[in-house]
């Protein structure tokens, strides 16, 4: 059961409206990493969760994200307001001005409609928690970029609050995942194939135009890793030889055909 209280979680105040920045804010309203996506993702995960403690966590944070959506929507509406009456402001985003009446709409900053494809819900709790950790990290970066593109102190304060809460949620999801005591490589029930799972394929080889080189690190070396050098190279080499051979054979066939044609004419 939800109950709406007519008070923002964080009071929003802005100075001079900036319609172009209002359009940027829509990224966190109806975008892939926005608050609506987060609210629905965590809430649906919570509805599916059979672990009472972590279900409560998901529902708590999912509900808070709805409050964040209200803050972002209020901020965006304030900045977009000039679009309602001013032609010059409306030109900042004709779609928002004409189709949306200068208010918030469920689209991102490029006018692409919100879609449920943004949601990552697997029904596997540890996998969902990892998705949530990544989602909070992405949202934090989006807020950081919005802050960097903003000159209005009141707007920056609200965005700073929202950005900070992303880290709070990230920490909570990390703690919930850790408390499950699962090995991070144990996903689902079916075990990976021994031997293959230990192999690292060096599929990007040689030296690039910008000086890129093959590198080694803990991801491709160690006692539990078998480093396989360019597994596709022998196949590629054989294919190249076959192609070259076929080209030469085709050239010889064309040459022979041309010679026979000349002989007949003679």
pLDDT truncated to tens, each residue of the chain (266 aa)?
Answer: 899 999 999 999 999 999 999 999 999 999 999 999 999 999 999 999 999 999 999 999 999 999 999 999 999 999 999 988 888 888 888 888 887 888 899 999 999 999 999 999 999 999 999 999 999 999 999 999 999 999 999 999 999 999 999 999 999 999 999 999 999 889 999 999 999 999 999 988 878 877 788 899 999 999 999 998 877 776 666 676 776 777 777 777 766 666 666 666 66
Structure tokens at 140: 């934090």
Residue ranges of domains in the chain, CATH in brackets = 19-179 (1.20.1260.10)
User: Residues 164-170: contacts with CB within 8 Å, 24+ apart?
Assistant: 165/64, 165/68, 166/136, 166/137, 166/139, 166/140, 167/136, 167/140, 169/61, 169/64, 169/132, 169/136, 170/133, 170/136, 170/137, 170/140
Give residue 254's pLDDT: 66
The H or E element containing residue 69 is: helix 52-80
pLDDT for res 221: 94
The predicted structure's pLDDT at residue 90: 86
Q: Minimal CA–CA distance to 152: which of 35, 34, 19?
A: 19
Query: How far is residue 158's CA from residue 160's CA, in Å, rounded to a whole number?
Result: 5
Rounded to 10°, the helix 35-48/52-80 angle is 160
């Amino acid at each position: 059961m939800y109950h709406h209280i007519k008070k923002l979680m964080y009071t929003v105040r802005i100075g001079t409206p900036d319609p172009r920045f209002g359009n940027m804010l829509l990224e966190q309203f109806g975008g892939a990493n926005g608050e609506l996506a987060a609210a629905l993702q965590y809430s649906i995960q919570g509805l599916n969760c059979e672990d009472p403690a972590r279900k409560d966590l998901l529902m708590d944070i999912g509900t808070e994200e709805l409050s964040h959506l209200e803050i972002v929507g209020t901020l965006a509406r304030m900045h977009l307001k000039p679009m309602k009456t001013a032609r010059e402001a409306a030109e900042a985003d004709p779609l928002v001005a004409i189709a949306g009446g200068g208010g918030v709409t469920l689209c991102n900053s490029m006018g692409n409609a919100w879609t449920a494809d943004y949601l990552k819900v697997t029904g596997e709790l540890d996998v969902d928690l990892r998705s949530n950790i990544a989602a909070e990290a992405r949202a934090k970066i989006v807020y950081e970029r919005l802050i960097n593109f903003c000159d209005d102190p009141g707007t920056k304060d609200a965005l700073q609050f929202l950005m900070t809460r992303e880290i709070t949620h990230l920490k909570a999801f990390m703690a919930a995942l850790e408390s499950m005591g699962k090995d991070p490589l144990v996903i689902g029930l079916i075990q990976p194939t021994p031997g293959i799972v230990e192999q690292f394929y060096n599929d990007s080889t040689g030296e690039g135009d910008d000086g890129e080189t093959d590198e080694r690190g803990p991801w491709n070396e160690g006692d539990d890793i078998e480093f396989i050098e360019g597994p596709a190279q022998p196949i590629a080499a054989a294919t190249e030889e076959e192609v070259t051979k076929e080209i030469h054979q085709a050239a010889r066939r064309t040459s022979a055909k041309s010679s026979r044609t000349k002989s007949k004419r003679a």
